[in-house]
Amino acid sequence: MKKDMLCWLSIAELAAGYRAQEFSPLDVTRSLLDRIKHLDDQINSYIAVLEDSALREARASENRFVKGASLGALDGVPVSLKDIFHIAGVPTTAASKILTDSVAGEDSAVVKKIRATGAVLLGKTNLHEFAYGITGLSSHFGPVRNPWDLEHITGGSSSGSAAAVAAGVSYASVGSETGASVRRPASFCGVVGFKPTYGFISRRGMLPGAWSIDTVGVFGRSVSDAVTFAGALVGYETSDPFSQLPGDSKRSMAKHEGMSGLRIGVPRMYLNEDVAEETRSTFEVALMNMEKQGARVSDFELPSVRFTAVTLTLVSASEISSYHRQWIHDRPDDYCTDVRDRLYLGLGISAGEYLLAQRARRRIGDELQEAFSKIDVLVTPTTPGPAPRIADGVTALKDRPLEVGYHHSNLVRLPSLLGLPVISVPSGQTRGGLPLALQIVGRPFDEVSVIRVAHAVERAAGFLERHPGLSVEGGGRHE
Amino acid sequence: MKAMGQPPLSPSTRLTMLASLSLSSKERETMLAAFGHLSQAVESLEGFVSPEATPATTFSPQKSRQEDP
Mean local confidence (pLDDT), A69-89: 98
The answer as to whether A1 is a domain residue is: no
In a domain, A119, yes or no: yes
Q: Quick check: is A187 in a domain?
A: yes
Evaluate whether A137 touches A128 at the Cβ level (below 8 Å): yes
Assess whether pLDDT exceeds 90 at residue B6.
no
Yes or no: say if A214 and A176 are a contact pair by the CB < 8 Å rule.
Answer: yes
* pLDDT interval class at B61 (50, 70, 90): very low
Whole-complex ipTM: 0.88
For chain A, the domain total comes to 1
CA distance A390 to A291: 37
Question: Is A187 tagged catalytic?
Answer: no
CB A101 within 8 A of CB A177: no
Q: What per-residue confidence (pLDDT) applies to B7?
A: 82
Contact in structure between A164 and A174 (CB atoms under 8 Å): no
pLDDT in tens, A275-296: 999 999 999 999 999 999 999 9
Q: What pLDDT is recorded for position A252? A: 54
The answer to whether the CB of A22 falls within 8 A of the CB of A1 is: yes
Per DSSP, A23 falls in state S
Residue A179's pLDDT band (cuts 50, 70, 90):
very high
Residue B65 pLDDT > 50: no
Residue A475 has pLDDT above 50, yes or no: no
Please give the residue range of the domain that contains residue A167: 11-256+426-433+440-461
**pTM given for the model:** 0.93
Cβ count near A479 (within 10 Å): 9
Q: How confident is the model at residue B3 (pLDDT cuts 50, 70, 90)?
A: very low
Q: Which residues of B sit within 8 Å Cβ distance of A?
A: 1, 5-6, 8-9, 14-15, 17-18, 20-21, 23, 27, 30-31, 34-35, 37-38, 40-42, 44-46, 48-49, 54, 58
A307 within domain boundaries: no
Closest-approach residue (CA) in chain A for B36: A402
What per-residue confidence (pLDDT) applies to A254?
A: 53
Residue A21: inside a domain, yes or no? Answer: yes
In angstroms, the Cα distances linking A41 to A8, A46, A147, A164, A469 are 20, 9, 11, 12, 15
Does residue A392 sit within a domain? no
Nearest to A185 by CA among A229, A152, A136, A148: A136
Residue A105 has a pLDDT of 97
Q: Is residue A196 part of a domain?
A: yes
Catalytic choice (A96, A139, A159, A181): A181
Amino acid of residue A269? M
Confirm if A192 and A221 have CB atoms less than 8 A apart.
yes
* Mean of all residue pLDDT scores within chain A: 94
Q: The domain that contains A75 carries what CATH number?
A: 3.90.1300.10
Mean pLDDT value across residues A406-410: 97
Task: Tell me the mean pLDDT in the region A95-103.
Answer: 97
